[in-house]
Structure 1
């Protein structure tokens, strides 16, 4: 192996899980990961996928990037409502479909980047998922995000105003550029080097591929049990249909 090849091997990025706090299918994939595939969940890099607002879109364009956009038809929206109810019922979950009024998705997703920087990313996602899908709250409401601060032991203001911080905006644009480089067109989306898996039904294949390369990631026989609040169930192909054709 050449020195260049060795260097490339050392710098190879870990497998990645692209998720959106907006997407119900990302929510279900997140629960399946933690409830059924804990070793994989711990090994992958969690990367937020969010639709840029006007400012982020401008910054993204200036950086030479672009964001995929696919409008959703009313028929598709009605199907998603029906499909997610089925998938949630299979997992023994009840949920409240939230109503998004003038959402700015940088508010929750850049808040996640702040929490992740403080080592509280998974806990932040759990709180956001509970707020959005169990309580039907608007996670683009800064007061909702600020409310996570006390439970996470983090500054509520830092979480709630992440979208106003130029540094966090720049970090968000870097994430959007990663989305484009990895060819992510919807969520949940899983990437391992050149291999890509889209949709919750591809999660088992992604997990199996990682375990084949690294046996330490093989899940234990009892890892598929109900893990309390993260009860899991069978997978199905999905597409949420919001910006980017997301699941």
Structure 2
């Protein structure tokens, strides 16, 4: 089995080492192609206005001077000797839950694999507070990663779908189990914009993270993480709202 690993935290991110350890429990044919620098929040963006450069860091280990999408495209078209059997993206430092998946470079890297017809899984480690940097604990992902990925590798993937996995911000021993759940939606008003002044006296703004809302009575990824479970959510890339097709078509009929 050939496995392609990527992320949005960059080639030197601790979570990528965690992901590689997980992947090597299933195969020795593991390739790493990741952004050279952190690309959190890059979404499914593609670099078009400047050249993308490729740098090799070791056998089957490469960095790309671009986005997570760039990294997967370069892996599939220039680096790997053949098509991988699966794309694993992560393990991200921080949650990719609810509607935040639309911003996520981690999820978008998996999406690029899915668009190429390859089963793809995004993995993220939730943490409790801001400002932790590289001290984010990955114990839940380390202990449970193979337990989640193993069954998924045996599962059939519908075309143009990805699996989004989030590990809760608890010690491995405190994880209650695994839930397959729907994507939730955050309360948009909970986002924050942090305002400050730089050393030269100019004002700046920094987008802050928001907390995870509990959604009682709803089987969503937000609730699963809040309850100490690993969330597993299948996402589809077809964004068409089928229920609106007929009504909109009627607006333009004869």
TM-score by length of 1: 0.26
Greater Rg by CA? 2
Instruction: Identify the structure with the greater helix proportion.
Output: 1
Greater percentage in strand:
2
